[in-house]
A and B are shown apart, each in its own frame.
Chain A
Amino acid sequence: MGKRKKVILPPDLPLEIAEDELQLSDEDFDFVRKNRKYAGFLTKLDTKSIDRHVTRVADHKEDELEALYEKRNRKAALLKVQEDEAQVDPVDALPIRTLDGDWKYRTAKKERYEDKSNDTASPKKDDDEEKGVIRLTKAERRQKLKKDKKEAKKVAKEEGEMDVPEGKLHSEVLEKVQEDLSAEELFTKKKIKVAKVGMTLLENPESNIRSLTDLLQICDDEDHNIVKLGLMSLLAVFKDIIPGYRIRQLTEKELAVQVSEAVRKMRYYEYTLLRSYKAYILKLIGLEKQTSFRQVAVRCMCTLLDTAPHFNFRESLLISVVKNISSSDDVVRKLCCETIKSLFANEGKHGGEATLQAVRLIADHVKFHDCQLHPDSVYVFLSLKFDEDLRKSEKMEEKGRPKKRRGWHNHEVPNQLQGSDKKRSRRDLIEKTRKEVNADLKSVSFVPDPMERRRMQSEALSAVFQTYFRILKHSMDPANSRSKVNAISLPGGSTAYPLLAPCLDGLGKFSHLIDLDFMSDLIGCLKKLAGYSDRHDGISHQNSLSVSERLQCCVVAFRVMRSNLDALNVDLQDFFVQLYNLILEYRPDRDRGEVLAEALKTMLWEGRQHDMQRAAAFIKRLATFSLSFGSAEAMAALVTLTHLLQKNSKCRNLLENDAGGGSLSGLVVKYQPEATDPYLSGALASVLWELSLLMKHYNPSISSMAASISTMANMNPAQNQAYLSTISPPQAFADLSIERELLKQSSKPLSLNIKSRREKGKEFVVLDPDQLQRVESFLDEDQVKLRLEDHFTVLRDISENERLRGELNRTSLSLSLYEEYKMQKKKRDNKTKRRKDAKV
């Protein structure tokens, strides 16, 4: 294959790539065949160009190559059939715009393209071929990367042998060259190349637009780092050169008109840009599936989506980003979430269309995964912005129309279809007139008209609520028991219903936008979730939701109720009962204290007039609660309690030990702390004795709070408003949280004013002085003497040992000296002998 290309365009190719391409072999193809899944992408993509290529090069000598191609062709055809049968692949669904401006879908493209290619400029044709080639090789390489390097090398060798001598020679030379260049050198070389191409592109995009293809080629490199660099520099380039408008397809009419050189150039520029952009995105989508490239690819896609949400191919980007929104990889997930959030926040960039698309995609995603996703994927909805008056005006506008949405009921779908049909016709009308008036402005400007905007918002909203209701329904479904969920074991979701918390948050936030029509359904659902049942069976009722989640349900119900004041006919009584009992279930480290504080705030602190019985019951329970729990929780409870006492002047009777206090109690004469219903607790008959113990609380802020509460009994009822404390329960909770307290402690100066009431103490505090005395009286002097003697013997033996050893050494040394002595003596003897001889 590579050789084939070399025949056509030898000078264009960088060395590495040429060498690389020589590594195509039977084995490679086998690998591809074995791993059709991976190969699918490449075959789908390239059948046309390969076809053409094969036919064109058929007259060349390599027969085996041709055979290969034929094999491939057969396979491709097979795949193509499959492909046609399957629903539209997202990748192939991307339309391609040809030079003449026609939008072609992949399947229909071939004939048209070949017609045109004859009369268009030759470089373009080359381009196209090249592109096809690259695509293949890139895909090949991707397969290859999965093998380990050794195998790759072996393959290269074998293939070299298999190849015709010419190619073999060539490859050998190249291999040598490659080996000569050290890996690092190669890397820097490539880096420099990337930088160069990037710079030229940035300097003058118009004239150098073709360099994009060079960059794309670099991204096919086998060095991962180079690929990453290539991707990032392409990203930078695209970020810079993507125009502020969407490149529109040219109509037949427009094409027919003779255009000036400048316009033609512009069209060419746009066309190349768009085509490279598409190739880039395809590559990103492909790389995203590989773990080693995932982060880079996702980062690129997120940045693209963030900077150019208006541009072409947004849909495919969105699909990929949404797919990764619940990724188990923290970095990827965070990136995607941030992107989606910024998409929601900066609607000006894309006119809200992307928002709608994203919301729908997320909704589908949730549906597809049966609500088993990372909570982050639904938390992004919280950054959505809707016009405050959205629902009202919509209602006005759609008066007479049957219910637009019906929650999670089945009629939802037809209703929606109906609605959108209507809208579409209206929009068409508007668009027509608009086009007539100012067609050009439309293409440039992204400011949607208010109607359009409203339509999109309401559709997005409906998708959001659809998701929320789906999640609620899912949570209620007893079939989704914990055991089943545990098997799935999601990375992020620690709870059984990972999406419930963000869903409740969202419902709380958008409560004012909920249609009144299914308010009662919603409330009923929440009620069930909050764990209310006629629980005489008490605990046997197995509610699988955590306490925090149940508290949250209560909070949401109140929020919904409060933001729809006109729908006050909903009875929230049960939620109070729930809260009253849930307070007991709260466990400091298991459940989130903030949620409890929030519940206290929404349900008790913010509430308007309370029923006296209920208020008293809550006052009593909160006081009792603060006796058992930590300071932060206690403080939140006390703040709420104060507030309740202030609002309900009659409840201040609780502060006084009045013998006649029972007169107010009504039904129940004696306080029943174990009652589950606040109305039946008889709290009015009780006295807040808790306060006197709370006044001894170790935390000064709580003890002073308790003290101030106990004085409220004497408060003049008229003074009510003046005393209202400004601090809310969540605030109080946060203020006294352990972390904050520790910080306070450390910032405090060191001061201890010890008033010691006794002089330097002599007496023992903990230890038993007798015990100390006993140890010494226990001593036996004879025993000590004996031990000392033993000690001495040991010491003496040791020193004796040392001495003896030294002596031994010396003696043996002297003995060894004797040898030396003998030698000398001999010499001396000889000398004397000689001398004697001489004398003689």
Chain B
Amino acid sequence: MAKKLGKKARKFAKKNLQSVLKRRRKLKAVFKKRSAPRGGNNRDALEGDEKVKLDQNMEGNSGGVILDGSITENDLENVFPEEDEDLNDDISDSDGYLSEDTECPYISESESENDSTKKNAHIDLVGKNKELSTEITQQRKKLNRLIKKDPEFSNFLESRKNDMEISRREELYSDEDEDEDDTSYPDGDAVQDSKGSLSDKILTSSTIDVWCWLVMQEPSGPAVRNLLNGFRVACRYGVDSNKIISKKIQSREVFSKILTFVLSEADNIFRRLLRMSDSGRKENIPKLKSASEWRTVSPLMESYLRSSLYLLHQITDNQILIFVLSRLRASIIFFSAFPSLARRLIKIAVHLWATGDQSLSLSSFTIIRDIASELPSDYLDICLTRTYKSFIVCSKFVEHANLKHIEFLMNSIVELHSLDIRKSSQRVLTSVQQLGSILRKAFKTKKKEELKMIHSWQYINCINMWVKFITCNSRDNDLQPLVFSVIQVITGVAHLFPGLRNIPLRFKCVQMLNELSLSSGVFVPIASLVFECLDYKESGNLDTTRGTKINFSSLLKVPKQLLKSQDFHEECVLSAIELLSAHFAQWSYHISFPELTAIPLILLKRFDAKTTIEGLRRPVRRLIDQVEQNRDFIQRKRDEVSFSPNDQASADSFTQLEKSSGNAPFTQYYASVLQNSRTRIIVN
């Protein structure tokens, strides 16, 4: 493996080194030019020197650096396919682009991996480090003693050194920092020396302060470059094994200072550089691109964005992530100039959105939404696809704990889809048709796998999502064909799984139908789907032990052992009452209300007469009373009118006056039912 890697790396270096070197030289030249006339400022000159030195150093090491980059590129090939095969449509072209740029090697580890190593390492790191250093001093003492005893040995060691190095290189050719160390190894003095030579490059707190000050004073000055380089180093800190980088920042103060400053000010700086107004977030990028400043600013900007993304990928702390995300959101508009970065941002943000905790998820969503709304429309497509896919992955299991999260994900997808109704309704229609074809297949074959596919949270959540989409948008748009298709699919699902055990699933369907009906104003008959639990025969051996509470919201199928429990029975009837009253409430002002409620009333009355469960009698009676009251009210009103059923217009205007006032007893009753159900859920 190592050998193969090495070969690849060398090949890569050969291919790409030239351009990189050229670029570096150019950069350096610019720097020199700029720093030369400002020699008066001692510190600045020093900085300039430093920079040059650094650059030289980098040049010297550039082979190594590039090797480094290429390794990660190679890793990418290994990691990405398994990480998210399905999502990676754009990664290949971004690859090429990235590896050209040595400044910011691509991140190879996946976040979770990183996470685990860090955590494990941190627990006993300090202790371990101490142990290690004592051991080293012991060993070194021993060695020194030997060398003192026999000076020739040091010569021998020197001669063996090269062999060791070569063999090492073959094994771990990438660890050039170790090579570096090796060269300076022979005795303690040498180590000291090498440290000393590096120490002048260390970024100190005061350096950063000065840079910040300079940048704030004059954004176009060279300090921006330094600062961004420092920022880049900080972002990559600890992840690369590159010693130079890890040596450059030695205090945590510096680390946090440079990160916070750059993150919070970069956007302003770029805007000032590009002479954009602060408020003008909607500046269009093509115009910016044509501006003369663009050529100088764009590499800086790219470096900043890239480093921030890198940071985003490395960090696991929610607070920092939210901070970085919020800062990136400010400069979201700049991403449109760098498509590959934008895609990467989408990917990271979607990942955080789907897996993060509440606040992180929220802030990732805001950035996704900004991308979708402020960047060109093909980014909207990417966002829609990505979010949809990760939602499908996430919604595989629904438990009481993640109900809220799933609902949030659903809402955010609906939100995204609502950005461009014309475009997204087509997508939704396609998705619904796909759901429909799965359902049709299941109806035809009744095979277990196909039934299972439908009897899954993924399927139900997907439908639920589109129902939400429709309910949110049907007021302003004509989504009638979509409504029809979705209703078909939902009724199909409800009928595909009969029986008491599937009542939670069926009630979900009924609820969705109610929502659809309410939002689109069409009539959807749902009563028959609820009847089953009203004539549920009470077998004598009803288990009255009050054990586990049943909550339908996180169930599709009732566990068998609960089928006979009284709790289940009660929950069934109470949910049925809820659904029926929602249905009736919707049509409570309609002229057909008495007819609509006729059959359910008969069944409810029969249930009331039959039931032995005291806890159910009251709510059922209450529903009956309310429905009868409203029925009588409508009948009284109906007796006053003179039009016939074929006069649709007059029928529509029937009792509109009362409806607009909105405080009929039935509406109030429905509100109280909703209230009750909510408290019931909370109690459960």
A contact residues vs B (CB 8 Å cutoff) = 539, 584, 587-590, 623-631, 633-634, 655-657, 659, 673-674, 687-700, 707, 710-711, 713, 738-739, 741-743, 745-746, 750-758, 760-762, 764-767, 771-772, 775-776, 778-779, 781, 783-808, 810-815, 817-818, 820-821, 824-825
Contacts and interface: CB of A to CB of B under 8 A. Distances in A.
Contacts of A634: 525
B125 A713 contact: no
Given A765-B472, A765-B473, A789-B256, A801 B440 contact: no
A694 B422 CA distance: 30
B323 interface: yes
Given A742-B488, A767-B415, A689 B426 contact: no
B125 A798 contact: yes
Given A789-B255, A801-B121, A808-B136, A750 B237 contact: no
Interface stretch (B177-185, B216-224, B336-344): B177-185
Contact of B595 (A689, A700, A745, A791): A689
B425 A754 contact: yes
A746 B437 contact: yes
A625 B322 CA distance: 56
Nearest to A744: B488
A741 B256 CA distance: 63
A818 B642 contact: no
A329 B315 CA distance: 63
B64 to A, nearest CB: 16
Nearest to B487: A698
A750 B603 CA distance: 41
Given A752-B481, A756-B421, A798-B238, A628 B525 contact: yes
B651 interface: yes
A738 B484 CA distance: 13
A60 to B, nearest CB: 64
Nearest to A658: B644
Nearest to A657: B644
A764 to B, nearest CB: 6
Interface of B: 117-118, 121-122, 125-126, 128-129, 132-133, 135-136, 139-140, 142-143, 146, 150, 152-153, 156-157, 160, 164, 175, 178, 181-182, 185, 237-239, 241, 243, 246, 249-250, 252-253, 255-257, 259-260, 264, 315, 317, 319-320, 322-323, 326, 359, 362-363, 365-366, 373, 408, 411-412, 414-415, 418-422, 425-426, 429-430, 433, 436-437, 439-440, 443-444, 468, 472-473, 476-479, 481-485, 487-489, 491-492, 495, 498-499, 516-517, 520-525, 527-529, 531-532, 535, 587, 590-592, 594-596, 598-603, 605-606, 610, 638, 641-646, 648, 651
B426 A752 contact: yes
Contact of B252 (A623, A699, A739, A789): A789
A825 B322 CA distance: 64
Contacts of A811: 136, 139-140, 143
Nearest to B363: A775
Most buried by A among B128, B488, B598: B598
A818 B153 contact: yes
Given A698-B483, A754-B425, A799-B246, A630 B255 contact: no
A784 B327 CA distance: 13
Contacts of A766: 411, 414-415, 418, 468, 472
Nearest to B118: A794
Contacts of B590: 692-693
Given A693-B595, A754-B422, A767-B415, A781 B492 contact: no
Nearest to A586: B528
B498 A784 contact: no
Contacts of A752: 425-426, 429, 479, 481-482
Given A631-B491, A792-B238, 8 more contacts: A743-B440, A746-B437, A750-B429, A790-B317, A797-B129, A804-B129, A811-B143, A821-B153
A756 B255 contact: no
Nearest to B380: A760
Given A745-B488, A758-B476, A760-B373, A539 B610 contact: yes
Contacts, number: 343
Contact of B319 (A624, A750, A783, A793): A783
Contact of B443 (A739, A750, A785, A808): A739
A807 B182 CA distance: 9
A835 to B, nearest CB: 17
B133 A779 contact: no
Q: Which 3 A-B pairs have the closest CB atoms?
A: A795-B238, A589-B498, A693-B592
B528 A628 contact: yes
A587 B476 contact: no
Given A687-B644, A689-B645, A698-B484, A789 B253 contact: yes
A710 B599 contact: no
A301 B634 CA distance: 70
B646 A655 contact: yes
Most buried by B among A689, A805, A817: A689
Contact of A692 (B468, B516, B645): B645
A762 B592 CA distance: 39
Most buried by A among B157, B430, B523: B523
B491 A630 contact: yes
A826 B31 CA distance: 58
Given A539-B610, A657-B644, A784-B319, A746 B326 contact: no
Nearest to B153: A821
Given A738-B443, A766-B468, A797-B121, A710 B646 contact: yes
B322 A698 contact: no
Contact of B476 (A743, A746, A756, A794): A756
A779 B436 contact: no
B443 A754 contact: no
Contacts of A814: 143, 157
B655 to A, nearest CB: 12
A543 to B, nearest CB: 13
Given A746-B440, A796-B238, A810-B185, A584 B599 contact: yes
A788 B260 contact: yes
Given A539-B606, A787-B317, A760 B419 contact: yes
Contacts of B326: 776, 779
Contacts of A756: 421-422, 476-477
A699 B486 CA distance: 12
Contact of A738 (B143, B365, B479, B495): B495
B252 A805 contact: no
Contacts of A783: 319
Given A589-B498, A754-B478, A623 B525 contact: no
A657 B443 contact: no
Contact of B320 (A629, A745, A757, A788): A788
Given A761-B418, A785-B260, A794-B122, A588 B528 contact: yes
Most buried by B among A656, A695, A696, A802: A696
Contacts of A739: 440, 443-444
A628 B600 contact: yes
Contact of B178 (A687, A689, A765, A806): A806
15 contacts: A629-B525, A692-B590, A693-B587, A694-B592, A746-B436, A750-B429, A752-B425, A756-B477, A765-B472, A788-B256, A789-B255, A790-B317, A795-B239, A804-B133, A814-B143
Nearest to B482: A752
A771 B362 contact: yes
A624 B599 contact: yes
Nearest to A633: B528
Nearest to B318: A787
B139 A798 contact: no
A779 B645 contact: no
Contact of A710 (B426, B529, B645): B645
B122 A810 contact: no
B37 to A, nearest CB: 36
A687 B121 contact: no
Nearest to B646: A710
A627 B132 contact: no
B435 to A, nearest CB: 10
